Protein backbone atom coordinates (compact mmCIF):
# COMPACT_ATOMS: atom_id res chain seq x y z
CA UNK A 1 0.00 0.00 0.00
CA UNK A 2 1.29 3.46 -0.93
CA UNK A 3 2.10 5.43 2.24
CA UNK A 4 0.27 8.64 3.08
CA UNK A 5 2.31 11.68 2.08
CA UNK A 6 2.06 15.16 3.55
CA UNK A 7 3.19 18.37 1.86
CA UNK A 8 3.75 16.64 -1.49
CA UNK A 9 2.90 19.75 -3.51
CA UNK A 10 5.69 21.66 -1.74
CA UNK A 11 8.38 19.19 -2.84
CA UNK A 12 10.63 20.05 -5.75
CA UNK A 13 9.99 18.21 -9.03
CA UNK A 14 13.06 16.05 -8.43
CA UNK A 15 11.90 15.12 -4.93
CA UNK A 16 8.41 14.31 -6.22
CA UNK A 17 9.98 11.88 -8.67
CA UNK A 18 12.16 10.35 -5.94
CA UNK A 19 9.07 9.74 -3.79
CA UNK A 20 7.17 8.26 -6.73
CA UNK A 21 9.99 5.96 -7.79
CA UNK A 22 10.68 4.82 -4.24
CA UNK A 23 7.07 3.87 -3.52
CA UNK A 24 5.88 2.70 -6.95
CA UNK A 25 8.94 1.45 -8.86
CA UNK A 26 11.24 -0.01 -6.18
CA UNK A 27 13.80 2.72 -6.91
CA UNK A 28 14.11 1.57 -10.52
CA UNK A 29 16.40 4.07 -12.25
CA UNK A 30 14.68 3.36 -15.58
CA UNK A 31 11.49 5.05 -14.32
CA UNK A 32 13.50 8.17 -13.52
CA UNK A 33 15.12 8.04 -16.94
CA UNK A 34 11.76 7.83 -18.73
CA UNK A 35 10.32 10.76 -16.78
CA UNK A 36 13.36 13.00 -17.23
CA UNK A 37 13.81 12.09 -20.91
CA UNK A 38 10.60 13.98 -21.63
CA UNK A 39 11.78 17.14 -19.88
CA UNK A 40 12.37 19.97 -22.31
CA UNK A 41 16.00 21.04 -22.63
CA UNK A 42 14.83 24.65 -22.81
CA UNK A 43 14.49 25.43 -19.09
CA UNK A 44 12.26 28.44 -19.67
CA UNK A 45 9.87 26.37 -21.79
CA UNK A 46 9.91 23.54 -19.26
CA UNK A 47 9.08 25.97 -16.44
CA UNK A 48 6.14 27.23 -18.50
CA UNK A 49 4.84 23.66 -18.85
CA UNK A 50 5.41 22.96 -15.16
CA UNK A 51 3.21 25.91 -14.27
CA UNK A 52 0.25 24.91 -16.45
CA UNK A 53 -0.99 22.57 -13.70
CA UNK A 54 -0.04 21.05 -10.32
CA UNK A 55 2.44 18.37 -9.23
CA UNK A 56 4.06 18.13 -12.66
CA UNK A 57 6.92 15.64 -12.95
CA UNK A 58 7.29 15.34 -16.71
CA UNK A 59 5.64 16.13 -20.07
CA UNK A 60 3.26 13.83 -21.94
CA UNK A 61 3.72 14.22 -25.68
CA UNK A 62 1.06 13.72 -28.34
CA UNK A 63 1.72 13.88 -32.08
CA UNK A 64 1.15 17.30 -33.67
CA UNK A 65 0.00 16.65 -37.24
CA UNK A 66 -1.45 18.60 -40.14
CA UNK A 67 -4.24 17.76 -42.58
CA UNK A 68 -4.02 19.81 -45.81
CA UNK A 69 -6.43 20.62 -48.65
CA UNK A 70 -9.48 21.72 -46.65
CA UNK A 71 -11.57 24.05 -48.81
CA UNK A 72 -13.93 25.89 -46.42
CA UNK A 73 -16.24 28.63 -47.69
CA UNK A 74 -14.04 29.01 -50.75
CA UNK A 75 -10.77 29.36 -48.82
CA UNK A 76 -8.11 26.67 -48.47
CA UNK A 77 -6.88 25.66 -45.00
CA UNK A 78 -4.32 23.34 -43.48
CA UNK A 79 -5.69 21.95 -40.21
CA UNK A 80 -3.43 21.34 -37.19
CA UNK A 81 -4.48 18.15 -35.38
CA UNK A 82 -3.21 16.76 -32.08
CA UNK A 83 -4.18 13.12 -31.62
CA UNK A 84 -2.53 9.75 -30.97
CA UNK A 85 -5.01 7.51 -32.80
CA UNK A 86 -3.92 5.94 -36.06
CA UNK A 87 -5.76 6.84 -39.29
CA UNK A 88 -7.58 9.93 -37.98
CA UNK A 89 -5.39 12.50 -39.74
CA UNK A 90 -5.15 10.36 -42.88
CA UNK A 91 -8.94 9.97 -43.00
CA UNK A 92 -9.55 13.70 -42.53
CA UNK A 93 -7.03 14.51 -45.26
CA UNK A 94 -8.64 11.99 -47.62
CA UNK A 95 -12.08 13.50 -47.05
CA UNK A 96 -10.71 17.01 -47.61
CA UNK A 97 -9.16 15.92 -50.91
CA UNK A 98 -12.41 14.26 -52.02
CA UNK A 99 -14.56 17.35 -51.37
CA UNK A 100 -12.14 20.01 -52.65
CA UNK A 101 -13.21 19.26 -56.24
CA UNK A 102 -16.90 19.16 -55.31
CA UNK A 103 -17.31 22.65 -53.94
CA UNK A 104 -15.58 22.07 -50.62
CA UNK A 105 -17.13 22.52 -47.20
CA UNK A 106 -19.66 25.20 -46.30
CA UNK A 107 -19.80 26.38 -42.68
CA UNK A 108 -21.73 29.00 -40.75
CA UNK A 109 -22.01 30.02 -37.11
CA UNK A 110 -25.68 30.01 -36.10
CA UNK A 111 -25.27 31.54 -32.64
CA UNK A 112 -22.57 32.19 -30.03
CA UNK A 113 -24.42 32.56 -26.72
CA UNK A 114 -22.96 30.74 -23.70
CA UNK A 115 -24.60 29.80 -20.42
CA UNK A 116 -23.94 30.02 -16.69
CA UNK A 117 -26.19 29.46 -13.69
CA UNK A 118 -26.56 30.52 -10.08
CA UNK A 119 -28.23 27.61 -8.30
CA UNK A 120 -30.10 28.45 -5.08
CA UNK A 121 -32.81 27.35 -2.64
CA UNK A 122 -35.80 29.53 -1.75
CA UNK A 123 -38.65 28.48 0.54
CA UNK A 124 -41.05 31.41 0.12
CA UNK A 125 -43.69 32.66 -2.28
CA UNK A 126 -42.77 31.93 -5.91
CA UNK A 127 -44.56 35.01 -7.27
CA UNK A 128 -42.69 37.27 -4.89
CA UNK A 129 -39.40 35.68 -6.00
CA UNK A 130 -40.29 36.36 -9.64
CA UNK A 131 -41.04 40.00 -8.85
CA UNK A 132 -37.83 40.30 -6.84
CA UNK A 133 -35.60 38.94 -9.62
CA UNK A 134 -37.31 41.17 -12.21
CA UNK A 135 -36.74 44.21 -9.97
CA UNK A 136 -33.12 43.22 -9.23
CA UNK A 137 -31.89 42.27 -12.71
CA UNK A 138 -30.48 45.70 -13.51
CA UNK A 139 -28.67 45.78 -10.16
CA UNK A 140 -27.25 42.28 -10.77
CA UNK A 141 -25.88 43.36 -14.14
CA UNK A 142 -24.45 46.66 -12.90
CA UNK A 143 -22.80 44.95 -9.91
CA UNK A 144 -20.64 42.96 -12.38
CA UNK A 145 -19.61 46.01 -14.43
CA UNK A 146 -16.04 45.86 -13.12
CA UNK A 147 -15.84 42.36 -14.62
CA UNK A 148 -17.68 43.07 -17.87
CA UNK A 149 -16.13 46.40 -18.90
CA UNK A 150 -13.32 44.97 -21.04
CA UNK A 151 -15.53 42.27 -22.52
CA UNK A 152 -18.15 44.89 -23.47
CA UNK A 153 -15.48 46.94 -25.26
CA UNK A 154 -14.82 43.89 -27.45
CA UNK A 155 -18.53 43.47 -28.22
CA UNK A 156 -19.41 40.90 -25.55
CA UNK A 157 -20.93 40.86 -22.10
CA UNK A 158 -24.07 39.73 -20.29
CA UNK A 159 -26.96 38.91 -22.64
CA UNK A 160 -29.76 38.08 -20.19
CA UNK A 161 -30.62 36.88 -16.68
CA UNK A 162 -33.69 34.70 -16.27
CA UNK A 163 -35.25 33.08 -13.20
CA UNK A 164 -36.02 29.40 -13.70
CA UNK A 165 -38.28 27.49 -11.36
CA UNK A 166 -37.14 23.87 -10.96
CA UNK A 167 -39.19 23.02 -7.87
CA UNK A 168 -41.12 20.33 -9.76
CA UNK A 169 -37.87 18.39 -10.01
CA UNK A 170 -36.21 19.33 -6.69
CA UNK A 171 -37.82 20.93 -3.65
CA UNK A 172 -37.17 24.67 -3.32
CA UNK A 173 -34.69 24.67 -6.21
CA UNK A 174 -34.39 27.73 -8.45
CA UNK A 175 -31.70 29.11 -10.69
CA UNK A 176 -30.62 32.30 -12.34
CA UNK A 177 -30.10 31.11 -15.91
CA UNK A 178 -27.64 33.60 -17.38
CA UNK A 179 -26.47 33.99 -20.95
CA UNK A 180 -23.26 35.62 -22.17
CA UNK A 181 -21.42 36.68 -25.30
CA UNK A 182 -17.66 36.21 -24.90
CA UNK A 183 -16.50 37.11 -28.45
CA UNK A 184 -13.08 35.50 -29.12
CA UNK A 185 -12.59 34.10 -25.59
CA UNK A 186 -13.93 30.75 -24.51
CA UNK A 187 -14.95 32.79 -21.48
CA UNK A 188 -15.08 30.29 -18.63
CA UNK A 189 -13.30 32.52 -16.12
CA UNK A 190 -15.28 35.57 -17.23
CA UNK A 191 -18.61 33.76 -16.88
CA UNK A 192 -17.77 32.22 -13.50
CA UNK A 193 -16.62 35.58 -12.13
CA UNK A 194 -19.88 37.21 -13.23
CA UNK A 195 -21.95 34.41 -11.70
CA UNK A 196 -20.21 34.64 -8.34
CA UNK A 197 -20.84 38.39 -8.34
CA UNK A 198 -24.51 37.80 -9.18
CA UNK A 199 -24.77 35.42 -6.21
CA UNK A 200 -23.30 38.00 -3.81
CA UNK A 201 -25.58 40.75 -5.12
CA UNK A 202 -28.61 38.45 -4.99
CA UNK A 203 -28.09 37.88 -1.26
CA UNK A 204 -27.61 41.59 -0.53
CA UNK A 205 -30.67 42.61 -2.53
CA UNK A 206 -32.81 39.87 -0.97
CA UNK A 207 -32.03 41.13 2.54
CA UNK A 208 -33.16 44.62 1.52
CA UNK A 209 -36.28 43.56 -0.42
CA UNK A 210 -39.21 44.83 1.61
CA UNK A 211 -41.81 42.43 0.17
CA UNK A 212 -39.91 39.42 1.52
CA UNK A 213 -40.55 38.00 4.97
CA UNK A 214 -37.49 37.36 7.14
CA UNK A 215 -37.56 33.71 6.08
CA UNK A 216 -37.80 34.63 2.37
CA UNK A 217 -34.82 36.96 2.68
CA UNK A 218 -32.70 33.96 3.66
CA UNK A 219 -31.86 32.71 0.14
CA UNK A 220 -29.39 29.81 0.19
CA UNK A 221 -26.84 29.90 -2.66
CA UNK A 222 -25.86 26.36 -3.59
CA UNK A 223 -23.29 27.11 -6.31
CA UNK A 224 -22.45 29.42 -9.19
CA UNK A 225 -20.91 27.85 -12.29
CA UNK A 226 -20.92 27.99 -16.08
CA UNK A 227 -22.52 25.22 -18.12
CA UNK A 228 -20.69 23.26 -20.79
CA UNK A 229 -24.05 22.58 -22.42
CA UNK A 230 -24.30 25.46 -24.90
CA UNK A 231 -27.13 24.65 -27.34
CA UNK A 232 -27.15 28.30 -28.47
CA UNK A 233 -23.45 28.38 -29.35
CA UNK A 234 -23.97 26.49 -32.58
CA UNK A 235 -22.12 25.96 -35.83
CA UNK A 236 -23.27 24.12 -38.94
CA UNK A 237 -21.04 22.60 -41.64
CA UNK A 238 -22.05 20.75 -44.79
CA UNK A 239 -20.99 19.29 -48.12
CA UNK A 240 -23.15 18.52 -51.13
CA UNK A 241 -22.83 17.29 -54.68
CA UNK A 242 -24.79 15.62 -57.43
CA UNK A 243 -25.14 11.89 -56.80
CA UNK A 244 -23.22 11.21 -60.02
CA UNK A 245 -20.09 12.76 -58.39
CA UNK A 246 -20.05 10.18 -55.59
CA UNK A 247 -17.87 7.03 -55.76
CA UNK A 248 -18.90 4.58 -58.48
CA UNK A 249 -17.47 1.04 -58.23
CA UNK A 250 -18.38 -2.45 -59.51
CA UNK A 251 -19.73 -3.12 -56.01
CA UNK A 252 -21.77 0.09 -55.62
CA UNK A 253 -23.09 2.54 -58.16
CA UNK A 254 -23.08 6.21 -57.17
CA UNK A 255 -26.79 6.07 -56.43
CA UNK A 256 -26.42 2.89 -54.35
CA UNK A 257 -23.51 4.50 -52.52
CA UNK A 258 -25.62 7.55 -51.66
CA UNK A 259 -28.56 5.46 -50.47
CA UNK A 260 -26.32 3.24 -48.36
CA UNK A 261 -24.56 6.28 -46.87
CA UNK A 262 -27.86 7.95 -45.94
CA UNK A 263 -29.13 4.70 -44.41
CA UNK A 264 -25.92 4.36 -42.35
CA UNK A 265 -26.50 7.85 -40.94
CA UNK A 266 -30.15 7.05 -40.30
CA UNK A 267 -29.09 4.03 -38.23
CA UNK A 268 -26.95 6.32 -36.07
CA UNK A 269 -29.95 8.61 -35.66
CA UNK A 270 -32.22 5.90 -34.27
CA UNK A 271 -29.78 3.50 -32.54
CA UNK A 272 -27.91 4.87 -29.48
CA UNK A 273 -25.37 2.01 -29.48
CA UNK A 274 -24.33 2.98 -33.02
CA UNK A 275 -24.69 6.72 -32.32
CA UNK A 276 -22.11 6.59 -29.51
CA UNK A 277 -19.43 5.14 -31.81
CA UNK A 278 -20.57 7.31 -34.72
CA UNK A 279 -20.22 10.49 -32.65
CA UNK A 280 -16.93 9.32 -31.16
CA UNK A 281 -15.57 9.28 -34.70
CA UNK A 282 -16.82 12.83 -35.24
CA UNK A 283 -15.07 13.89 -32.03
CA UNK A 284 -11.82 12.29 -33.27
CA UNK A 285 -11.63 15.11 -35.79
CA UNK A 286 -13.03 17.82 -33.55
CA UNK A 287 -10.95 17.01 -30.46
CA UNK A 288 -7.76 16.91 -32.52
CA UNK A 289 -8.28 20.51 -33.67
CA UNK A 290 -9.52 21.58 -30.24
CA UNK A 291 -6.38 20.20 -28.58
CA UNK A 292 -4.04 21.66 -31.19
CA UNK A 293 -5.55 25.12 -30.70
CA UNK A 294 -5.36 25.04 -26.90
CA UNK A 295 -9.09 24.73 -26.25
CA UNK A 296 -10.84 22.53 -23.68
CA UNK A 297 -11.73 19.24 -25.38
CA UNK A 298 -13.50 17.92 -22.25
CA UNK A 299 -15.90 20.87 -22.33
CA UNK A 300 -16.47 20.41 -26.07
CA UNK A 301 -17.12 16.68 -25.59
CA UNK A 302 -19.59 17.26 -22.76
CA UNK A 303 -21.49 19.90 -24.74
CA UNK A 304 -21.59 17.79 -27.90
CA UNK A 305 -22.91 14.66 -26.22
CA UNK A 306 -25.48 16.65 -24.22
CA UNK A 307 -26.65 18.20 -27.49
CA UNK A 308 -26.89 14.74 -29.06
CA UNK A 309 -29.33 13.85 -26.25
CA UNK A 310 -31.35 17.07 -26.28
CA UNK A 311 -34.57 15.42 -27.44
CA UNK A 312 -34.48 12.70 -24.79
CA UNK A 313 -32.65 10.09 -26.85
CA UNK A 314 -28.96 9.95 -27.78
CA UNK A 315 -28.61 10.37 -31.54
CA UNK A 316 -26.26 11.23 -34.41
CA UNK A 317 -24.69 14.67 -34.65
CA UNK A 318 -24.61 14.40 -38.46
CA UNK A 319 -27.40 14.15 -41.00
CA UNK A 320 -27.52 13.01 -44.64
CA UNK A 321 -30.19 13.25 -47.30
CA UNK A 322 -30.85 12.87 -51.02
CA UNK A 323 -33.10 15.46 -52.62
CA UNK A 324 -33.52 16.08 -56.36
CA UNK A 325 -30.46 13.92 -57.03
CA UNK A 326 -28.35 16.08 -54.71
CA UNK A 327 -26.52 14.35 -51.85
CA UNK A 328 -26.08 16.53 -48.74
CA UNK A 329 -24.16 15.66 -45.60
CA UNK A 330 -24.12 18.03 -42.63
CA UNK A 331 -23.37 18.51 -38.95
CA UNK A 332 -24.82 20.89 -36.39
CA UNK A 333 -22.89 21.02 -33.14
CA UNK A 334 -22.30 23.35 -30.17
CA UNK A 335 -18.67 24.52 -29.96
CA UNK A 336 -17.68 26.98 -27.23
CA UNK A 337 -14.19 27.89 -28.40
CA UNK A 338 -11.76 30.74 -28.03
CA UNK A 339 -8.68 32.17 -29.71
CA UNK A 340 -7.61 34.48 -26.87
CA UNK A 341 -6.85 33.70 -23.22
CA UNK A 342 -5.91 30.38 -21.62
CA UNK A 343 -3.21 28.40 -23.42
CA UNK A 344 -3.76 30.27 -26.70
CA UNK A 345 -1.27 32.94 -25.69
CA UNK A 346 1.05 30.69 -23.65
CA UNK A 347 1.71 27.37 -25.36
CA UNK A 348 4.20 27.78 -28.25
CA UNK A 349 2.61 25.02 -30.36
CA UNK A 350 -0.86 26.48 -29.83
CA UNK A 351 0.39 29.81 -31.12
CA UNK A 352 1.85 27.97 -34.11
CA UNK A 353 -1.42 26.11 -34.71
CA UNK A 354 -3.38 29.36 -34.77
CA UNK A 355 -0.82 30.80 -37.19
CA UNK A 356 -1.29 27.79 -39.46
CA UNK A 357 -5.00 28.66 -39.47
CA UNK A 358 -4.10 32.30 -40.25
CA UNK A 359 -5.02 33.57 -36.77
CA UNK A 360 -8.78 32.96 -36.88
CA UNK A 361 -11.29 34.61 -34.58
CA UNK A 362 -13.52 32.36 -32.46
CA UNK A 363 -16.27 32.13 -35.08
CA UNK A 364 -13.88 31.09 -37.82
CA UNK A 365 -12.29 28.51 -35.53
CA UNK A 366 -15.76 27.12 -34.75
CA UNK A 367 -16.38 26.65 -38.48
CA UNK A 368 -13.01 25.00 -39.10
CA UNK A 369 -13.48 22.64 -36.14
CA UNK A 370 -16.98 21.60 -37.19
CA UNK A 371 -15.64 20.85 -40.68
CA UNK A 372 -12.94 18.61 -39.15
CA UNK A 373 -15.67 16.58 -37.44
CA UNK A 374 -17.77 16.32 -40.60
CA UNK A 375 -14.75 15.29 -42.68
CA UNK A 376 -13.81 12.62 -40.18
CA UNK A 377 -17.34 11.25 -40.16
CA UNK A 378 -17.54 11.21 -43.95
CA UNK A 379 -14.30 9.24 -44.14
CA UNK A 380 -15.50 6.76 -41.52
CA UNK A 381 -18.89 6.13 -43.15
CA UNK A 382 -17.24 5.85 -46.55
CA UNK A 383 -14.99 3.08 -45.20
CA UNK A 384 -17.79 1.33 -43.33
CA UNK A 385 -20.10 1.03 -46.34
CA UNK A 386 -17.34 0.00 -48.78
CA UNK A 387 -14.16 -1.77 -47.62
CA UNK A 388 -14.94 -1.90 -43.90
CA UNK A 389 -13.23 0.17 -41.23
CA UNK A 390 -10.44 -2.25 -40.39
CA UNK A 391 -8.68 -2.40 -43.73
CA UNK A 392 -7.42 1.16 -43.58
CA UNK A 393 -7.23 1.42 -39.80
CA UNK A 394 -5.17 -1.73 -39.28
CA UNK A 395 -2.71 -0.77 -42.00
CA UNK A 396 -2.20 2.52 -40.19
CA UNK A 397 -1.98 0.61 -36.90
CA UNK A 398 0.62 -1.77 -38.35
CA UNK A 399 3.49 0.57 -37.47
CA UNK A 400 2.38 0.68 -33.82
CA UNK A 401 2.48 -3.13 -33.66
CA UNK A 402 5.90 -3.24 -35.30
CA UNK A 403 7.24 -0.68 -32.85
CA UNK A 404 5.95 -2.79 -29.95
CA UNK A 405 8.32 -5.53 -31.15
CA UNK A 406 11.24 -3.13 -31.78
CA UNK A 407 11.22 -4.00 -35.48
CA UNK A 408 14.26 -2.82 -37.40
CA UNK A 409 13.91 -0.58 -40.46
CA UNK A 410 14.62 -3.60 -42.71
CA UNK A 411 11.92 -5.64 -40.94
CA UNK A 412 9.45 -2.74 -41.20
CA UNK A 413 10.06 -2.35 -44.92
CA UNK A 414 9.56 -6.05 -45.55
CA UNK A 415 6.39 -6.31 -43.44
CA UNK A 416 4.79 -3.13 -44.78
CA UNK A 417 5.24 -4.58 -48.25
CA UNK A 418 3.85 -7.97 -47.12
CA UNK A 419 0.72 -6.42 -45.65
CA UNK A 420 -0.08 -4.47 -48.79
CA UNK A 421 -1.75 -7.66 -50.00
CA UNK A 422 -2.51 -9.39 -46.70
CA UNK A 423 -4.91 -8.66 -43.86
CA UNK A 424 -3.32 -6.96 -40.85
CA UNK A 425 -4.01 -8.67 -37.53
CA UNK A 426 -1.90 -8.62 -34.40
CA UNK A 427 -1.37 -12.37 -34.52
CA UNK A 428 -0.38 -12.33 -38.20
CA UNK A 429 2.13 -9.53 -37.59
CA UNK A 430 3.66 -11.57 -34.75
CA UNK A 431 3.83 -14.65 -36.98
CA UNK A 432 5.58 -12.77 -39.78
CA UNK A 433 8.07 -11.11 -37.40
CA UNK A 434 8.94 -14.51 -35.93
CA UNK A 435 9.40 -15.94 -39.45
CA UNK A 436 11.78 -13.13 -40.36
CA UNK A 437 13.78 -13.48 -37.18
CA UNK A 438 14.08 -17.25 -37.42
pLDDT tops 80 at residue 394: no
Does the pLDDT value for residue 437 go beyond 90?
Answer: no
393 is catalytic: yes
CB neighbours (10 Å) of residue 19? 16
Report yes or no on 400 lying in a domain. yes
pLDDT for 395 equals 59
> Is residue 3 included in any domain, yes or no?
no
319 is catalytic: no
Catalytic option among 75, 139, 280, 413: 280
Q: Using an 8 Å Cβ cutoff, are 379 and 95 in contact?
A: yes
Mark whether 152 and 45 lie in a shared domain. no
**pLDDT of res. 381:** 97
247-263 pLDDT per residue, tens: 998 889 999 999 999 99
Q: Which of 119, 196, 296, 367 is catalytic?
A: 296
pLDDT per residue as tens digits for the range 307-359? 999 999 999 999 999 999 999 999 999 999 999 988 888 899 999 999 999 99
Residue 139 and residue 79 share a domain = no
Is 354 in the same domain as 258?
Answer: yes
Q: Any idea what DSSP says for residue 246?
A: S
* pTM (predicted TM-score): 0.89
Does residue 349 fall inside a structural domain?
yes
Q: Which of 185-194, 252-261, 287-296, 428-437 has the lowest mean pLDDT?
A: 428-437
Burial of 18 (0-12, 13-18, 19+ CB in 10 A): middle
Alpha-helical runs (H) found in 13-101:
13-24, 29-37, 43-50, 88-100
Spatial neighbors of 154 by CB under 8 A, at least 6 apart, are 183, 184
Catalytic: which of 50, 85, 125, 259? 85
Residues 68 and 207 in one domain: no
Annotation marks residue 296 as catalytic: yes
Q: How many domains does the chain have?
A: 4
Co-location of 120 and 261 in the same domain:
no
Per-residue pLDDT, averaged over 179-194, amounts to: 96
Q: Is 59 part of any domain?
A: no
Asked if 205 and 327 sit in the same domain, the reply is: no
Based on the residue annotation, tell me whether 280 is a catalytic residue of this protein.
yes
Which pLDDT does position 286 carry in this prediction?
98
128-146 pLDDT, tens per residue?
999 999 999 999 999 999 9
Q: Are 221 and 247 in a shared domain?
A: no
Can you give the residue range of the structural domain that contains 23? 8-50
- Do 104 and 118 lie in one domain? The reply is no
**Each residue of 308-329: b (16+ CB within 10 Å) or e?**
beeeeebbbbbbbeeeeeebeb
* Residues 71, 217 within the same domain: no
> Could you report the per-residue pLDDT of 266-277, keeping only the tens digit for each?
999 999 999 999
Same domain, 332 and 286: yes
- Same domain, residue pair 381 and 302: yes
CATH number of the CATH domain containing 81: 3.90.770.10
Average pLDDT over residues 203-216: 96
CATH code for the domain in which residue 157 is found: 3.30.70.420
Q: Are residues 285 and 359 in the same domain?
A: yes
Question: Is 414's pLDDT higher than 70?
Answer: yes
Quick one: average pLDDT of 216-236? 97
Amino acid sequence: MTPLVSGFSKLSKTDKIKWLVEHHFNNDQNAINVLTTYWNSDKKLQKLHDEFTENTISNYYLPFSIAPNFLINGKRYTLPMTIEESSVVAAASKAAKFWQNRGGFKAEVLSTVKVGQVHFSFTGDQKKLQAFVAASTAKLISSASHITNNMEKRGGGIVAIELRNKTDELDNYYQLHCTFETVDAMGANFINSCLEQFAKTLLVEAREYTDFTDQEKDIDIIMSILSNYVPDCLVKASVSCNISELPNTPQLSSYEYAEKFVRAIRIAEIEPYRAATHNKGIMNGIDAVVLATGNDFRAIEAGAHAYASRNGKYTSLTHAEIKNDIFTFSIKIPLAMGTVGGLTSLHPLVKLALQILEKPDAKKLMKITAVAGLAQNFAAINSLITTGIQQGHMKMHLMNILNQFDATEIEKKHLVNYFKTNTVTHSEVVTQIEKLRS
